[in-house]
């Protein structure tokens, strides 16, 4: 297993262990499996959130949101100095390579989060 796939699973294991130990100590009315299921669900949800935000960042979602602010700032700076121009945007080849690298980082988090949630749901039926 490569390090890319191992890192999210390790994060899920650590989060699940911390939550399960904390829940068992503070709530003794439920079984260990119940708390383990809750820990897996929380870890899976957090990994899915990281994966989705990474995916949005890789696809330029946040760049699109900030484009309006950038244009407004550029217009104000042009009022002060008529010769002012922003640097050119990244070249499309560099942008595509950057998006591909970010997308490659996204898949392990999404898949690990989905696996944790499915295992959590399966454990809840025991």
Instruction: Give the model confidence (pLDDT) of 6-29 as tens digits.
Output: 889 898 999 999 999 999 999 889
Task: Please state whether the predicted TM-score (pTM) of the whole model is above 0.75.
Answer: no
Residue 73 has pLDDT above 80, yes or no: no
Calculate the alpha carbon distances from 94 to 19, 51, 54, 90, 112 in Å: 41, 22, 18, 7, 28
Question: What's the whole-number average pLDDT of the chain?
Answer: 84
Q: Which residues contact residue 119 at a Cβ distance below 8 angstroms, ignoring those fewer than 6 apart?
A: 40, 44
Q: Can you tell me which residue has the tokens 């994060």?
A: 11
If one counts the domains in the chain, the total is 1
SS3 27: coil
The answer to whether residue 69 scores a pLDDT higher than 70 is yes
Which residue range(s) make up the domain with 113? 3-124
Here the tokens at position 110 are: 């999404």
DSSP string computed for 54-97: HHHHHTTHHHHHHHHHHHHHHHHHHHH-TT--PPPPPPHHHHHH
Please give the distance of CA 95 from its chain centroid, rounded to a whole number. 20
């Amino acid at each position: 297993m490569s390090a890319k796939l191992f890192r999210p699973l390790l994060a899920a294991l650590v989060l699940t262990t911390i939550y399960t130990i904390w829940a068992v100590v503070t709530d003794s009315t439920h079984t260990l499996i119940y708390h383990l299921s809750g820990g897996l669900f929380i870890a899976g949800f957090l990994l899915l959130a990281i994966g989705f935000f990474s995916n949005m960042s890789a696809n330029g979602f946040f760049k699109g949101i900030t484009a309006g602010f950038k244009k407004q700032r550029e217009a104000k700076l042009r009022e002060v100095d008529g010769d002012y121009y922003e640097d050119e945007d990244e070249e499309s080849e560099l942008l595509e390579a950057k998006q591909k690298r970010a997308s490659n980082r996204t898949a392990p988090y999404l898949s690990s989060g989905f696996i944790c949630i499915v295992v959590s749901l399966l454990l809840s039926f025991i």
